[in-house]
Structure 1
């Protein structure tokens, strides 16, 4: 399989970095809200916000977007995206933001291996090296045995599995359909499923928190657009290691918003993760520039 064009690789990587930045910003906002409101209520707002924004953007073009050739794939992609959000949000009251993100960020390993097993993408030594080194960086942050792993750690692990499934299904659909189809179906699924719990858990929203709920919907929508487009135009194995930047961003949000400052090992692990991602990007862009024999 030939490497994607250089401009396509660059766009895919840039979109992945933006997606991870916005996702971690959404997670940081959700962490504060889940301390005061039931998790299903926060999850519902995240998806209903996406649904409303997409409906406003599409307006008169909704009909053509909903006509899909992949209804089953869209269902499972929507379910896996909902699972990723739900498992991660449920972990936030019990685990620090950076720690939860570090555990969930084993997903690039799952994505890269899954892309090779199920999508036929090349699993070359550069990609393997990038994933393994980044995973080592994640383990430096987590430091197994230091008290991070508990029953609550299962939730971000399930988040990683769900996220990897969503990413692989997104790559499977690829550019064959508009990104808006995935946005609409995922938003509908999340709104309906999370909405089913609202009659049992709803709490009135304080006036000062309304803008935070709106912010969650906006951040989630923009992040989802970026990640769908990234996996649609670039091979999963190329962009997957950049998801490890989520640990760096989550550490930043935790320090700024919750005064949770990283220790020395977290900083070292973050540097390893960034170095691994930059290595993969550099090698893939060089391969794309190289003349084909």
Structure 2
């Protein structure tokens, strides 16, 4: 039986989330062994070479960016670099499931940012879901309690920078290939962390560490490619909820690899965030369908006679 585009898109989204989460787990195993900047630079070198080869094979290597896209690409790089630094720092210092749970707030922050900066309409139901979702985030972070630490704030900073990245991506023209943007981003991340790594002594890299960094690079490349492929098949309203499978992977890897299991209140907060995000996606899908139906109705009526 032939597989539908929606099922294919869902499988690609789950594969993308699995790849990104395995990358996180591999990077986390190097915490305390190799400095963060060194790890990010070495992974960046492998990633950039691989992405450049893929871009060359796709025929987009050397494509010039339109001048109008320079600004969005710059802010996208700022968002990518900031999110990488804050996310990996938090990852090095807190359970992988906890930082993953905080990152599940992204659909909520992106919807809110689109409403504030792009004047995209957000009804009271979605706004209420966003507020409830942020209550869930506070249950995960728990400021003012014994379980709170500064790295929870780093996680929130990572969410902010990813939101900036995605808002900048929305401003890119459709003529810019996704792989071109990925390559530019990868080059600048590699350069930034390469320069930052000069501020601290490098640690020796044995065969195991080199294998882990290589594996992380393979996973991050896979995550990029799957996420690009997702955008080309199926309905985004059907596919987007499968983004939350990353939390399942984070819970499983946190328990199996690091022996961590979140507290009950963290799981409750994560559940609230996920439920709020799913409701927001559902409402966005409904609004989009109504808009398309209204547009079709108007086209079918034709121009009014004068």
Quote how far apart the aligned CAs of 1:244 are: 5.9
- Unaligned runs of 5+ residues in structure 1 are 1-6
Quote how far apart the aligned CAs of 1:245 are: 5.5
Conserved 8 A contact 2:108-2:280: no
Quote how far apart the aligned CAs of 1:56 are: 1.8
Partner of 1:172: 171
Matched, 1:132 2:131: yes
Counterpart among 6, 22, 26 of residue 25 in structure 1: 22
Relative distance call for 1:124 and 1:21 in structure 2 (3 A) is farther
Partner of 2:34: 37
Matched, 1:203 2:203: yes
Q: TM-score, normalised by structure 1?
A: 0.80
- Residue by residue over 1:38-96, the C-alpha shift from the partner in whole angstroms, topping out at 9 and shown as x without a partner, is 10011113322321111221235566553111223212212210110111112233322
1:181 aligned counterpart, secondary structure: helix
Quote how far apart the aligned CAs of 1:170 are: 1.2
Aligned length: 287
- Unaligned runs of 5+ residues in structure 2 are 298-306
Distance in 1 (CA, whole Å) between partners of 2:10 and 2:284 is: 11
Quote how far apart the aligned CAs of 1:241 are: 7.8
Distance in 1 (CA, whole Å) between partners of 2:109 and 2:278 is: 19
Partner of 1:3: none
Relative distance call for 1:148 and 1:225 in structure 2 (3 A) is farther
In the TM superposition, 1:221-236 aligns within 5 A as 221-227=221-227
Relative distance call for 1:177 and 1:63 in structure 2 (3 A) is closer
Relative distance call for 1:239 and 1:132 in structure 2 (3 A) is farther
Partner of 1:48: 45
2:120 aligned counterpart, secondary structure: coil
Q: Could you tell which deviates more after superposition, 88-97 or 241-250? A: 241-250
Aligned-residue RMSD, C-alpha: 3.6
1:40 aligned counterpart, secondary structure: helix
- Residue by residue over 1:228-265, the C-alpha shift from the partner in whole angstroms, topping out at 9 and shown as x without a partner, is 67689999999988766654442332112101023333
